[in-house]
Amino acid sequence: MEHLSNLKLISERTGITDERKLALLESYGETIHDENKKYNLTGHKTLTDLIENLIIGSLEPLSGINVPRGTLFADLGTGAGIPGIPFAVKYDECSGILLDSNQKKIRFINKTCTELGISNVNGVDLRVEDAGRDDNYREKFDLVITRAMSDIYTIAELGAPLLKTGGSILLYINENQKNYSVNLLNHLDELGLSMDSSRSLTITGTDTFDGLLLTKTKPTDDKYPRRMPVISRMALK
């Protein structure tokens, strides 16, 4: 009964009707739930709470976004694979990398994707700021996504170098992060990013976020990203 209830909940809230995708998303949720006892992957204790907040909470806002076939994406600070794995399941004609510096979580991601047959994403054990200076990743991506990783200033500086011109960053932000200071707006402009406030999205669940889209309008200067201590210090101004 719980199985059918979870599938129905995912389908109703995300618009996904493909039975294979629904089964994959539920299996992924079950895997996180089981492995959480060993790895402390998430604070969500029940399977239904986990599915609603992590899986549905990652996909529900995407109904308002056009994600073209062949989109290459990067998920920054992915943790247990959120939102990157649900995104990859829904948009299985896209591909991406899931970045995190926690080796245990990257091993979990790659093991889980192999076992579930999710072949369009790969977990990479790498600091995001290092990826932005690596020619294998710099300005290669159409879309950067991240959830609950950091403040807007920091995410923008880490994400912009990874984006192609014309690409976008989708941030999941909460009420406390909506302070669009002059320092932040100037920083976005210097990074080559434009805030697209006309396409803000509501992300619901036990945790409520707004989605913020930043579009890259020009190349990012080679001096970015700076080292994390510098970024963190400047973000406080």
| Range 104-117 burial, b when 16+ CB lie within 10 A, else e | ebbebbbebbeebe
Name the fold adopted by 58-235: Rossmann fold (3.40.50)
Q: Helices 152-159 and 228-235: crossing angle, nearest 10°?
A: 140
pTM of the complete model: 0.90
Model pLDDT for residues 173-182, shown as the tens digit of each residue: 765 666 788 9
Looking at this protein, which amino acid is placed at residue 164? Answer: K
Flag the least confident range among 19-28, 49-58, 86-95, 162-171.
49-58
Residue 205 predicted with pLDDT over 60: no
pLDDT band for position 49 (50/70/90)?
confident
Domain ranges for the chain, please list them: 58-235
| Helix (H) or strand (E) segment spanning residue 15 | none
Query: At 123, is the secondary structure helix, strand, or coil?
Result: strand
Displacement of CA 90 from its chain's centroid (Å): 13
Q: How many angstroms separate the CA atoms of 237 and 10, rounded?
A: 41
What pLDDT does residue 168 have? 93
